[in-house]
Amino acid sequence: MLTLVTYSPAFGEPAASPFCVKAMILLEMSGQAWQPEFSDDPRKGPKGKLPVLRDGGRVIPDSDAIRDYLEQRFGVDFDAGLSGEQRAVSRAFIRMAEEHIYFLLVCNRWLNDENWADVRRTFFGQIPAIINGFVTGKIRQKVRRNMDGQGMGRFNAEEQLARLDHDLQAVSGQLGQGDFLFGDRPTAADASVVPMLRALASSVAKTPLSERVARDAGLMAYLERGVAAMYPA
């Protein structure tokens, strides 16, 4: 049986990371038997992050590599029925979710003081109280530097909201074709977009970013359909 090493459930999702949820969805869509192995310490993974898929002696890190592995190993086509043009657009939506919306999510979780308190409890609650503040403060400083280096951390809340709004308009426009991004059944793009937007909407603190998703009735209906059709039981 396949084993997915993943963060524990958190923030109302099957895993704290939307990339772990994506991997769970892909495993469900593949039809293969699998089981989770929960871990909150990604440092032992080959890439120093989660998720990681184990198949016997094979170890596959990273959700995108997991998709490739499932397609090659088991002959799965997560975009079955899509044209060449649609497959190209699908890949672009995945990159938008994982390389742009994701960094908005990081800023929303880690750099907002109210959300940071919840993130600290979720990811670092096992650190002894006497050193917790010092250690987690250093980690947060590193995340802040990383977000400045990546660029998203240099935008203020209003500017970040404007960037998110363009992405969400693209998602809403694409949904005009059916219940999901490419028709009436979910494909690989939905496996990436749904958990990323749900992670943003489930923010403990009501921020401009989380409220932009949560107040969009069309998007929230899409996310509900995604949970019903794709999430593991």
Q: How far apart are CA 144 and CA 153, in angstroms?
A: 7
- The CB density around residue 62, as the number of other CB atoms within 10 Å, is 19
Decide if pLDDT at 177 tops 80.
no
Q: How far apart are CA 157 and CA 134, in angstroms?
A: 27
Topology (CATH level 3) of domain 84-230: Glutathione S-transferase Yfyf (Class Pi); Chain A, domain 2 (1.20.1050)
Task: Round the CA-based radius of gyration of the chain to a whole number and report it.
Answer: 18
Over residues 160-168, mean pLDDT = 98
Assess contact for 62 and 20: CB atoms under 8 A.
no
- The CATH homologous superfamily to which domain 2-74 belongs is Glutaredoxin (3.40.30.10)
Over residues 148-170, mean pLDDT = 97
Residues 7-30: pLDDT tens digits?
A: 999 999 999 999 999 999 999 999
Q: How far apart are CA 180 and CA 25, in angstroms?
A: 15
Which positions ≥6 away from 96 have C-beta within 8 Å? 167, 170
Backbone angles phi, psi at 144, to 5 degrees: -60, -45
- The CB density around residue 217, as the number of other CB atoms within 10 Å, is 8
Among the ranges given (129-133, 165-169, 181-185, 223-227), the one the predictor scored with the smallest mean pLDDT: 129-133
Which pLDDT value is given to residue 39?
92
Residues 79-135: pLDDT tens digits?
A: 999 999 999 999 999 999 999 999 999 999 999 998 998 888 888 888 888 898 899
Which pLDDT value is given to residue 85?
98
At 115, which amino acid appears? N
Which pLDDT value is given to residue 40?
82
Structure tokens at 187: 């494909």
Which pLDDT value is given to residue 178?
87
Assess contact for 34 and 199: CB atoms under 8 A.
no
Backbone angles phi, psi at 25, to 5 degrees: -60, -45
Please give the helix or strand (H or E) that residue 52 lies within, else none: strand 52-55
Among the ranges given (38-47, 94-103, 164-173), the one the predictor scored with the smallest mean pLDDT: 38-47
Which pLDDT value is given to residue 127?
84
Residues 188-222: pLDDT tens digits?
A: 999 999 999 999 999 988 999 999 999 999 999 99
Q: Where are the domain boundaries for CATH 1.20.1050.10 in the chain?
A: 84-230
Which positions ≥6 away from 95 have C-beta within 8 Å? none
Q: How far apart are CA 186 and CA 230, in angstroms?
A: 8
Peptide bond into 18 cis (omega under 30): no
Report the predicted TM-score, pTM, of the whole model to 2 decimal places: 0.95
Contacts 24+ apart (CB under 8 A), 150-155: 150/103, 151/103, 152/103, 152/104, 152/106, 152/107, 153/107, 153/111
Q: Where are the domain boundaries for CATH 3.40.30.10 in the chain?
A: 2-74
Which pLDDT value is given to residue 129?
84
Which pLDDT value is given to residue 6?
97
Which pLDDT value is given to residue 122?
85
